[in-house]
Amino acid sequence: MEIWNRHFECMDRNELRKVQGERLIETVERTYFNVPYYRHRMQELGIGPESIRSVEDITRLPFTTKQDLRDNYPYGLFAVPLSEIVRIHASSGTTGKPTVVGYTRNDIATWSEVMARTLTCAGADKNDFIQIAYGYGLFTGGLGLHYGGEKIGASVIPISGGNTLRQIQLMHDFGSTVLACTPSYALYLAEAIIESGISRDEFRLRVGVFGAEPWTDNMRREIEDKLRIKAIDIYGLSEVIGPGVASECLFQEGLHINEDHFYPEIIDPETLQVLPEGSTGELVFTTITKHGLPLIRYRTRDLTRLNYGRCKCGRTFVRMDKCVGRSDDMLIIRGVNLFPSQVESILLEMGGITPHYQLIVDRINNLDSLELKVEVDEAFFLDRISQLEGLRSKIQGTLESYLGLGIKVTLVEPKALERSEGKAKRVIDKREIQVLK
C-alpha cells in the first residue's frame, strides 16, 4: 500500500510530538503578534507566547468558535496582510453571514499535500481518473479534491456537482476510476446507474472518497454493494482547511488525522475539559502550520473519539471514529450547512406569518429534502388563495437565495403546528443517519 509522505505519516510518535510542539509555538507567536483578537484573548488569560513550551501547554490556550469567526467577519482573524491571501472560501454561518476562510500560497501547498495523502490513503495514484462531483466554488470540496488529484498526478475530471445523467455518461466514457462526492449523492448516482441499464462491467470505477456530511456504516455497505467499489470516508471543515483533515485508509478502521498540521483534542462540550484518551466528545483542532487563518483550539462541534493504537497500514497518525453527531443543532443538507436559527431570522423579517415553524428533513431516493411548515398570521389567513400563494413563493424564494438550497414551503393554518411545553421542536429529521445516532 502506497503512503504519500512516509516521513510524516509514519513518524515515531515521540518525534511527532516534538514537531507538533515546535509548530504550535510558532503558531502561537504568529497569532499573538499578528491577530489582535488572539493577543487580547491571551492577555486576558494572563498568558503570552512564552507560556507555550510544548504541546502539553496547549490547554492553557483559549478556544475559538464559529461565533468568533462571525464576530470578526470577514477578515478579522487573518494573520497575514491581505496581499498574501491567494484564495477565499466560505461556508454558511448561523445568521446568513458566511464563515470566511483565507489561504496564502503556502496554505494552498499544505492543502494540496494533505489532499494528496487523502487520495493516496484511498489507494489512488497517477494512473487514476478522478471524477470530482463535489461542488466547485466557495465550498471547499471541489477545489480541495482538485488540487490533491493534480498533486498525485492523476487525471482530474472537474465535473462539479449535479447533472446526474452527465455524471453517468462521463464516468462511463472517460473511464473514471475514483469518484469524489457526498455519500448521499454517491448512493443517488448508484441507483441512477442501475436504472440506466448500462452494465456495471462497462464502468472502471474502483473507489469513492466520500465526506462533507455524516454517514453510517450501513450506508457504506449499500454504496459499496450498489457501485461495487470501496467507499472511503474523508473528513474536514472549511475553518481548519477543508477536506484533507482526516481520511480512512483501505482498512477502513477510523480516519487518520494529519496530525503534523492539525493538532486534535477531545473535550467535554459542557465543561470544556480535555477528556481522557478513548472518550467520545467534541473534536477540537489547532492548526499548527497555517498562515492565512491559523486557528487555536477551534471547536468543530463534531462528536467523535480518538484511537491512538497502531493501524495495520503502517501510518502512526491517530485515527478518529466516524463522526456520530454534533454538539450543536447544525444540519447538513446535501452538503450545505444550515442552522435552524438562520431560517428563523429570515422568517422573522417577513410579514404575514407567525414565528411558529418546523423544518422537516428527509432523504427521498437518497437525496436530502427540506420542507418548511410555517403558520400564517390569523389576519392573512382569511385572504384569498392567490395572496397566500404569493406569500408562500416569496418565502421560498427568499430562503432559497439566502441558504443556497432548494426548500419546499408549506403554509399552515394558525395553531396547526404542535406546541411544545419545553423547547420548541423546530426540526424533524427523518434521515437514517439521525436515527442511528
Q: Does 368 bind ligand DLL (CB under 6 A)?
A: no
Q: Does 223 bind ligand DLL (CB under 6 A)?
A: no
Q: Does 212 bind ligand DLL (CB under 6 A)?
A: yes
Binds ligand DLL (CB under 6 A): choice among 21, 98, 141, 352: 141
Min CB(412)–ligand DLL separation in Å: 31
Binds ligand DLL (CB under 6 A): choice among 233, 259, 260, 265: 233
Pair 168, 227: CB distance under 8 Å:
no
Q: CA distances (Å), 378 to each of 129, 203, 408, 413, 416, in order?
A: 58, 57, 22, 8, 11
Min CB(320)–ligand DLL separation in Å: 10
Min CB(32)–ligand DLL separation in Å: 26
Q: Does 338 bind ligand DLL (CB under 6 A)?
A: no
Min CB(300)–ligand DLL separation in Å: 5
Q: Does 159 bind ligand DLL (CB under 6 A)?
A: no
Q: Does 243 bind ligand DLL (CB under 6 A)?
A: yes
Pair 399, 343: CB distance under 8 Å:
yes
Q: Does 91 bind ligand DLL (CB under 6 A)?
A: yes
Binds ligand DLL (CB under 6 A): choice among 176, 337, 358, 366: 337
Min CB(122)–ligand DLL separation in Å: 12
Binds ligand DLL (CB under 6 A): choice among 21, 98, 236, 254: 236
**Binding positions for ligand DLL, 31-90, rule CB under 6 A:** none
Pair 328, 65: CB distance under 8 Å:
no
Pair 123, 250: CB distance under 8 Å:
yes
* Chain position whose Cβ is nearest to ligand DLL: 211
Q: Does 248 bind ligand DLL (CB under 6 A)?
A: no
Q: Does 118 bind ligand DLL (CB under 6 A)?
A: no
Between 223 and 391, name the residue whose CB sits nearer to ligand DLL. Answer: 223
Binds ligand DLL (CB under 6 A): choice among 38, 129, 235, 317: 235
Between 27 and 337, name the residue whose CB sits nearer to ligand DLL. Answer: 337
Q: Does 232 bind ligand DLL (CB under 6 A)?
A: no
Min CB(91)–ligand DLL separation in Å: 4
Between 99 and 164, name the residue whose CB sits nearer to ligand DLL. Answer: 99
Binds ligand DLL (CB under 6 A): choice among 119, 234, 318, 376: 234
Binds ligand DLL (CB under 6 A): choice among 128, 265, 302, 375: 302
The residue type of 297 is R
Between 234 and 417, name the residue whose CB sits nearer to ligand DLL. Answer: 234
Q: Does 134 bind ligand DLL (CB under 6 A)?
A: yes
Q: Does 306 bind ligand DLL (CB under 6 A)?
A: no
Whole-angstrom Cα Rg for the chain: 23
Q: Does 293 bind ligand DLL (CB under 6 A)?
A: no
Q: Does 342 bind ligand DLL (CB under 6 A)?
A: no
The label of the residue with cell 472549511 reads: 238
Q: Does 323 bind ligand DLL (CB under 6 A)?
A: yes
Binds ligand DLL (CB under 6 A): choice among 242, 254, 281, 294: 242
Q: Does 21 bind ligand DLL (CB under 6 A)?
A: no
Q: Considering CB under 6 A, how many residues would be counted as binding ligand DLL?
A: 22
Pair 404, 336: CB distance under 8 Å:
yes
Q: What is the 3-state secondary structure (H, E, C) of the chain?
A: CCCCCHHHHCCCHHHHHHHHHHHHHHHHHHHHHHCHHHHHHHHHCCCCHHHCCCHHHHHHCCCECHHHHHHCCCCCCCCCCHHHEEEEEEECCCCCCCEEEEEEHHHHHHHHHHHHHHHHHCCCCCCCEEEECCCCCCCHHHHHHHHHHHHCCCEEECCCCCCHHHHHHHHHHHCCCEEEECHHHHHHHHHHHHHHCCCHHHCCCCEEEEECCCCCHHHHHHHHHHHCCEEEEEEEECCCCEEEEEEECCCCCCEEECCCCEEEEEECCCCCCECCCCCCEEEEEEECCCCCCCCCCEEEEEEECEECCCCCCCCCCCEECCCCEECCCCEEECCEEECHHHHHHHHHCCCCEEEEEEEEEEEECCEEEEEEEEEECHHHHCCCHHHHHHHHHHHHHHHHHHHCCCCEEEEECCCCCCCCCCCCCCEEECCHHHHCC
CA nearest to 27, candidates 300, 298, 291: 291
Between 294 and 352, name the residue whose CB sits nearer to ligand DLL. Answer: 294
Interacting residue ranges for ligand DLL, rule: CB under 6 A: 91, 134, 140-141, 211-214, 233-238, 242-243, 300, 302, 323, 326, 332, 337
